[in-house]
């Protein structure tokens, strides 16, 4: 049995890579159902982020991965227009899976839940997936053409 009925994850999922795959697979180990939030193009613009793939591209890659791994039926996809989405108000979300860099956001969400009288989520922190050079795989590194989506160095 899974520790939680519903867990949440969220992100931009730009240049879908092995780190994203690990986060998603870990979430499904913790939850029977996983609410997956993906940032909208408008939210990214308001946040001052540029050079990110369009939402349609990011969403299609995410859906393809869920279908390939037979997880689409256990997931709920939603578009995030703010940093938190449903995690600050939905009492059915019992856990959240984050990386070390997004841990502060999960802690803030739990503080916001407390103010609203919503029970705390259990926060599960996963390690980064490392590229072949021993540094974390990231969308930024992929955009900068340092590595590919599998974490292999790209020779210049």
Lookup result for tokens 């939680």: 4
- Return the CATH superfamily for domain 4-129: HUPs (3.40.50.620)
What pLDDT does 2 receive? Answer: 77
Residue-by-residue DSSP string for 67-95: HHTT-GGGEEEEEESSSSGGGGT-TT--E
Q: Tell me the pairing of strands 4-11 and 31-39.
A: parallel
- Quick one: pLDDT at residue 155? 77
pTM as predicted? 0.94
Q: Which of 73, 70, 61, 79 is nearest to 34 (CA)?
A: 73
pLDDT in tens, 20-53: 999 999 999 999 999 999 999 999 999 998 899 9
pLDDT at 50: 86
Query: Per residue in 46-90, pLDDT tens?
Result: 999 889 999 999 999 999 999 999 999 999 999 999 999 999 999
pLDDT on residue 1 = 64
Distance, first Cα to last Cα, the chain: 48
- Average pLDDT for residues 132-156, to the nearest whole number? 93
* Residue 42 · residue 85 · CB < 8 Å: no
CA distance linking residue 82 with residue 105, whole number of Å: 12
């Amino acid at each position: 049995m899974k520790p939680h009925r519903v867990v949440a994850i969220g992100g931009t999922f730009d240049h879908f890579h092995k780190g994203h795959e690990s986060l998603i697979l870990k979430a499904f180990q913790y939850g029977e159902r996983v609410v997956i939030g993906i940032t909208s193009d408008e939210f990214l613009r308001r946040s001052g982020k540029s050079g990110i793939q369009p939402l349609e591209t990011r969403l299609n890659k995410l859906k393809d991965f869920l279908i390939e791994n037979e997880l689409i039926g256990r997931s709920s996809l939603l578009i995030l227009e703010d940093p938190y989405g449903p995690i600050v108000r939905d009492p059915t979300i019992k856990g959240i899976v984050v990386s070390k860099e997004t841990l502060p956001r999960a802690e803030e969400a739990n503080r916001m839940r407390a103010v609203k009288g919503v029970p705390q989520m259990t926060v599960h922190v996963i390690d980064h997936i490392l590229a072949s050079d021993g540094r974390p795989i990231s969308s930024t590194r992929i955009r900068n053409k340092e590595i590919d989506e599998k974490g292999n160095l790209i020779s210049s």
